[in-house]
Amino acid sequence: MAYKLPDLPYDYTALEPHISKSTLEFHHDKHHAAYVNNFNKAVEGTELDSMSIEDVIKKIAGDSSKTGLFNNAAQAWNHTFYWNCMKPNGGGTPSGALADKINADFGSFDKFVEEFKNAGGTQFGSGWAWLVLDNGTLKVTKTPNADNPLTSGQVPLLTMDVWEHAYYLDYQNSRPGYMEKFINNLINWDFVAENFSKA
């Protein structure tokens, strides 16, 4: 039951000028594809082959003998989730129940943005910034490398990739510049709201 590399949910040029066609081609077709291929090779013929990728991630998290497999599984999942967190003409502010919950749990949308930027900006090296639902409360968190909130019982609602390959072709070493564009111009709040309603 191989995990398939999903197509991007938009055209390679759809996120320009904020994220270039070149970045998406390298990031999706090379980086993401490699994680998917490595994961499929590693689980082929094992008991993990019949499990969903989410269940594999949860089952092997923390097992030092399976670090390589975990990294490829989690990165395959994280990237699929990340592509859906963006859309052309995204950004702005959410509405409805999600907006109310953000205001209730963070105090304001601006406070959420501040915490989200801080999580992305202070993640040393490679990793991810997340908006999660944790026991009924919205929280901002960050994870290093391939780690994700599934392993700690949190429900991921939104993620921002802060590995250099996510932004270096377009923003060089300016992670803050990339984060600004991601928040203001790319977030797919419909996808985030859908995750929230399902949680």
The one-letter amino acid code at 139 reads K
Q: Are 119 and 141 in contact (CB under 8 A)?
A: yes
| DSSP 8-class letter at 133 | E
Phi, psi of 179 (to 5 degrees): -65, -40
Tokens of 36: 């998917």
Task: Collect all residues with Cβ–Cβ distance below 8 Å to 9 and sequence separation of at least 6.
Answer: 83, 84, 87
Alpha-carbon distance of 17 to 131, in angstroms, equals 25
Q: Which residue positions form the known binding site?
A: 27, 79, 161, 165
Q: Which residue positions form the known binding site for Mn(2+)?
A: 27, 79, 161, 165
